[in-house]
Amino acid sequence: MVRYIVKRLLIAVPTIILISMFVFSLQKLLPGDPALIMAGEQRDPAAIAYYRAKYHLMEPIPTQYVYWVKDMLHGDFGMSLRTSQPVLTLIGQKLPITIQLAVMSMVLALVIGIPAGILSAVKKGTVTDYVANIVALSGLSIPNFWLGIMMILLFSVKLGWLPASGYVSLFDDPIQSLRTMIMPSLALGAMIASAFMRHARSAMLTVLKTDYVRTARAKGLKEYVVVLKHAFRNALIPVVTVAALIFGELLAGAVLTEQVFTIPGFGKLIVDAVFNRDYAVVQGVVLCTGVMFIFMNLIADVAYILLNPRLKGSL
């Protein structure tokens, strides 16, 4: 297993390099001179010359890339033009907020979606199956930002049960933090649970038709043992793939949900950076997002082996 993980990490290295080149190239395609923007409205010639020298803007683009990578390897992702804070500090402040939102959304989605998918597959063709599919399609069709607004109107404005917006750190006040994050998590988790339900149902229907499941039933095993022990484990593999991709997207920033509930997370950070042409923040956030996707794919690959060791040779 260790050799397998090391092998996957070695494969990830050139991928990260390509991502970094892509991120750096996109920044160079943006219109405008970064030095003029950093110099402010007065555009003092001395300040412009200083920023061009500091960020090697007079050098060829490949040389600029080398300097940029060298600085990042030393933990210097640059400074935010808007807040004058180090980019790495901003990422460290915003990423835990989005991680909390992503984890809560995923937990709710898994708790709801996976059992619903299993039940729908086992009860195929019954009222339970039809109801589960209708609910899942509704969850996929309803935009999460609209659902969030409706939840605010119901649970905050009308009933007064939960705060309408804002964020409280889990370390400052765990109870209040959960109260502020429960509605955003439900708004995101509803759509994800619907996706999990559809994939789990499809995978279970395929697995329930296999020979080893029929053999298990022929041995006289109870139905719940056949479903949970023999079928469910193999049906999890496509669900793991979907879960890794969705979790990576959530970590990249649930932009609309964070905007609706005024959560100062990763998504809001990158939106503000793009609108303010905060180049260093955009580069740092996009690169961090790419690395997170690679990490989530690695976790998914390891999960495949744990669920079915026979897949090790094919990955």
Residues 267, 253: contact at Cβ < 8 Å? yes
The full set of domain ranges for the chain reads: 87-314
Q: What is the pTM of this model?
A: 0.77
Rounded to whole angstroms, the Cα distance separating 250 from 136 reads 19
In the prediction, which pLDDT does 35 show? 67
Rounded to whole angstroms, the Cα distance separating 97 from 28 reads 30
Per-residue pLDDT of the chain (315 residues; tens, 9 = 90+): 677 777 777 888 888 888 888 888 776 666 666 666 666 666 667 777 777 777 677 777 788 788 888 888 888 787 777 777 888 888 888 888 888 888 888 888 888 888 888 888 888 888 888 888 888 888 778 887 788 888 888 888 888 888 888 788 888 888 888 888 888 888 888 888 888 888 888 888 888 888 877 887 788 778 777 787 777 777 777 788 788 778 877 776 577 788 788 888 877 788 778 777 777 788 888 888 888 888 887 887 777 777 665 555 555
Rounded to whole angstroms, the Cα distance separating 120 from 124 reads 6
DSSP collapsed to 3 states, the chain: CHHHHHHHHHHHHHHHHHHHHHHHHHHHHCCCCHHHHHHCCCCCHHHHHHHHHHCCCCCCHHHHHHHHHHHHHCCCCCECCCCCCEHHHHHHHHHHHHHHHHHHHHHHHHHHHHHHHHHHHHCCCCHHHHHHHHHHHHHHHCCHHHHHHHHHHHHHHHCCCCCCCCCCCCCCCHHHHHHHHHHHHHHHHHHHHHHHHHHHHHHHHHHCCCHHHHHHHHCCCCHHHHHHHHHHHHHHHHHHHHHHHHHHHHHHCCHHHHHHCCCCCHHHHHHHHHHCCCHHHHHHHHHHHHHHHHHHHHHHHHHHHHHCHHHHHHC
> What fold is seen in the domain 87-314?
MetI-like fold (1.10.3720)
Instruction: Give the number of other CB atoms < 10 A from CB of residue 17.
Output: 11
Output Rg (C-alpha) for the chain, integer angstroms.
Answer: 24
Residues 280, 77: contact at Cβ < 8 Å? yes
In the prediction, which pLDDT does 34 show? 66
